[in-house]
Chain A
Amino acid sequence: MLSRRSFLSSLAAALPLAVLVRRAHAAAVIHLESDPATLDALAAAVLPSELGRAGTIRVAREFRDWGANYRENAELVHGYGTSRLRATGPSPLTRWTTQLDELEAQAQNKHQRRFRDLTVAQRADLVRAALAGQRLDRMPSVVDANHVAVALLAHFYGTPAATDLCYNAQIGRQTCRPLPAQARKPLPMIKLSER
């Protein structure tokens, strides 16, 4: 059976670039869907522990879904005060799968174990090593993140759920909510144990 890299290399030799890029994106989607464990393990290492195991797996699944539904060269919302049009860039998914592969390789090199089998602290150390030397201060947009770990964080922290978690309040940003309720202070979050 061909490895993913061999498969991509054979494609590169045979197909025009645009087709190749689309197929590389599709291959990355399949790769992430068929083997989500590395991404799940990454999520558990970089996301807040309050989410719990089920929560980090849910965020990882939503992140994969985000990537799978990404469209290249889609027109972006028009800028204000300019006639210039902009479009989405290449799919980041192929880059992210490569970076997950690299984390996996580092886990084997350093610990002789799979990334998913490392402790959270060991996984976080590998992420830190992968990001070493990069200027990281603000949370970038998902698509601009230069590493899959950062993209995953950007994805989660951009959600209304993350805002609610931070404020411990049911704000429900960007969701359809009753208008009259906005006059009241948002209610606190309901903890699972209190349900």
Chain B
Amino acid sequence: MRRAIESDVCIIGSGITAAMVADRLSRTTSAKIVVIEAGDETVPLAQRAAMRERFLRYGENPWGRDHLEGYEVEGPLQSRSMQVGGLAMHWGGVTPRFSPEDFKHRSMFGVGSDWPISYEELDPFYQEAEELMGVAGEQGPRDLDPRAKPFPMPALPLTYNLELLKAWASRAGIAMWSQPSAKNSVAYRGRAQCCRNDTCSPICPVGAKYSPDFTWSELRRANKIRLIPRTLVRKLVLGPGGTTISHAVAVDRDHPEQPVEFHAKTFVVAAGYTWSSHLLLLSAQSGAPNGVANASGLVGKYLTGHRNVQGFVELPLRLYPGMNEQHSLVTKQFMRPKSGATFIRHDLRVWESSTGRAPRLGDDSGALMLGDAILDDWRARVKTGAARVRAYYDVVPDRASELTLDATRKNEWGDPLPKLAFRDAPESVALRAPTEDSIRALFANMAKAGDGRLLRTSVDNFQDHPAGGCRMGNDAATSVVDSWGRAHDHENLFVVGAPTSVSGSCANATLTFCALSLRFAHEIEKGLPRRR
């Protein structure tokens, strides 16, 4: 027998952007909100210290069974994790904003695409996201790091190590500051102050790092939403005429024999860069032969992100690795290329490091050490310190940077799994070598300024903070959603967060995904009854 669940708003996915939308709509409207999550409930806060302990001791996944069986996909899936709260249950909590230049690459630098919105338009939604999750931050130089209002929390203090490294960067002519983070520098909204457990990613044992489960707990406790886990949405079905979504068809993983339909006035797809496009493509039907919201043929296209060049620098500094390993310095100094110069653009972060300074078994000649010899050798090698430096750089996505349906791999309900392939646009291919050379030269100069030595560099081929697949734009022929997240093809369908990004910037992108989602929520709420 078929089950039908009715609501005003049906949100598909329960990750961080879904939490932003649900929080906003439940504050401003009296709409009946249903949230559907394919994965299981997450691990309660009270159990996280014990789960973390097993992670530290044995490397075990601290999130229990946070995945669906049979979802081995081809291509670089960011994470296999699927649970209430999504990937932000184990994110690093790093929350820089994009810079104003990110939104106008084509008009400023002649590469990539402009976004249909500006930084200034997004600023209030950045602020709203920062206040909702609680971001601790230090104001950078205002011309590089503009914001209309202060951070909601004081910055995380720099460690003794980072203070030394900041002075080193300054000698190299680089102004750096405390990386903004969704970690509590003071107790915030009922959550504890950070006590630097060093395992922000994958698990914060005290709740000092924001994760979406806190929002879900609050909303569920107040009976403002209904969150249904273990239910996988398989298809969006068009209403008569094809201009609206009528309902979503899902499978209850506990009762797969009994299909579930979700009927709503508004549908919000908030399932991240992979599963959002995947669902739209799976929803091919009469009236939408290439998938829902896909008249442009661009669903799944223009997957974007950024690569990084990383280096390790030995410095004549006595550092104490382990004071707060995941916190870093950041600068936006290199995110504004000179006009007319080659488009080389990147961020820069600096961490304490223990590279080359770990205890070892064999000495320089390869002879085995035992007893005091190991400790003596270790002590001799920590007299100098090391820093990790890393720069994310922009990658302009190609149209063929895409998610497609993989006819050769299906889930247990017979739906094809996604296949992911990231590709640089030709202009980005041409920029790759000069960009990476420039970053390596910067690292070498930094080492020299500190009387140090660049030990090694590497390039991570994986594109971090992946996004795209439902890019936003004003032209229905060249984008999937408008600048408010509304599908060009269906008036009651919104896509929020990462998939709508036009480009991936050269900085961690989660805060931007959240700000976009809150902006879209402001549009979604217009059609809903206001809360009195």
Residues of A within 8 A of B (CB): 45-50, 66, 69-71, 74-85, 88, 120, 124, 127-128, 131, 136-139, 141, 143, 149-150, 153, 157, 160, 162-163, 165-167, 169, 171-180, 182-186
On whether the beta carbons of B76 and A81 are closer than 8 Å, the reply is yes
Q: What are the 3 A-B residue pairs with the smallest beta carbon separation, nearest first?
A: A173-B322, A137-B362, A176-B195
19 A-B residue pairings within 8 Å (CB atoms): A45-B370, A50-B372, A75-B61, A76-B61, A81-B77, A82-B80, A83-B72, A131-B368, A137-B360, A141-B59, A157-B359, A166-B359, A166-B375, A171-B320, A174-B322, A180-B157, A182-B158, A183-B157, A185-B160
Question: Chain A residues with Cβ under 8 A from B321's Cβ?
Answer: 163, 171, 173
The DSSP consensus for interface residues of chain A is loop
On whether the beta carbons of B362 and A166 are closer than 8 Å, the reply is no
The answer, among B59, B66, B158, B382, for a CB contact under 8 Å with A76, is B59
The answer, among A48, A79, A138, for a CB contact under 8 Å with B372, is A48
Question: Chain B residues with Cβ under 8 A from A172's Cβ?
Answer: 322
On whether the beta carbons of B77 and A83 are closer than 8 Å, the reply is yes
Of B121-129, B198-206, B211-219, the stretch lying at the interface with chain A is B198-206
Q: Mark B35-76, 1 if CB is under 8 A from A, else 0.
A: 000000000000000000011111111100111000111001
| Distance between Cα atoms of A120 and B372 in the complex (Å) | 12
B285 at the interface (CB under 8 A from A): no
Q: Which residue of A lies closest to B192 (CB)?
A: A176
On whether the beta carbons of A85 and B198 are closer than 8 Å, the reply is no
On whether the beta carbons of B76 and A179 are closer than 8 Å, the reply is no
| Distance between Cα atoms of A79 and B202 in the complex (Å) | 11
Interface residues in B230-248 by Cβ distance below 8 A to A read: none
What's the minimum C-beta distance from A141 to chain B, rounded to whole angstroms?
8
On whether the beta carbons of B371 and A78 are closer than 8 Å, the reply is no
On whether the beta carbons of A120 and B371 are closer than 8 Å, the reply is yes
B379 at the interface (CB under 8 A from A): yes
| Distance between Cα atoms of A131 and B368 in the complex (Å) | 9
The answer, among B56, B61, B196, for a CB contact under 8 Å with A177, is B196
Question: Chain B residues with Cβ under 8 A from A128's Cβ?
Answer: 368, 370
On whether the beta carbons of B55 and A77 are closer than 8 Å, the reply is yes
Question: Chain A residues with Cβ under 8 A from B206's Cβ?
Answer: 176
What's the minimum C-beta distance from A63 to chain B, rounded to whole angstroms?
11
B131 at the interface (CB under 8 A from A): no
Q: Which residue of A lies closest to B71 (CB)?
A: A83
| Distance between Cα atoms of A178 and B163 in the complex (Å) | 17
The answer, among B67, B163, B194, B374, for a CB contact under 8 Å with A179, is B194
The answer, among B54, B156, B198, B462, for a CB contact under 8 Å with A174, is B198
What's the minimum C-beta distance from B301 to chain A, rounded to whole angstroms?
20
What's the minimum C-beta distance from A6 to chain B, rounded to whole angstroms?
31
| Distance between Cα atoms of A23 and B84 in the complex (Å) | 36
On whether the beta carbons of A182 and B59 are closer than 8 Å, the reply is no
What's the minimum C-beta distance from B149 to chain A, rounded to whole angstroms?
24
| Distance between Cα atoms of A179 and B183 in the complex (Å) | 11
What's the minimum C-beta distance from A23 to chain B, rounded to whole angstroms?
20
What's the minimum C-beta distance from A181 to chain B, rounded to whole angstroms?
9
**Known pairs A138-B360, A177-B196. 9 more at Cβ < 8 A?**
A77-B62, A78-B66, A85-B72, A88-B59, A120-B371, A166-B375, A172-B322, A183-B160, A185-B320
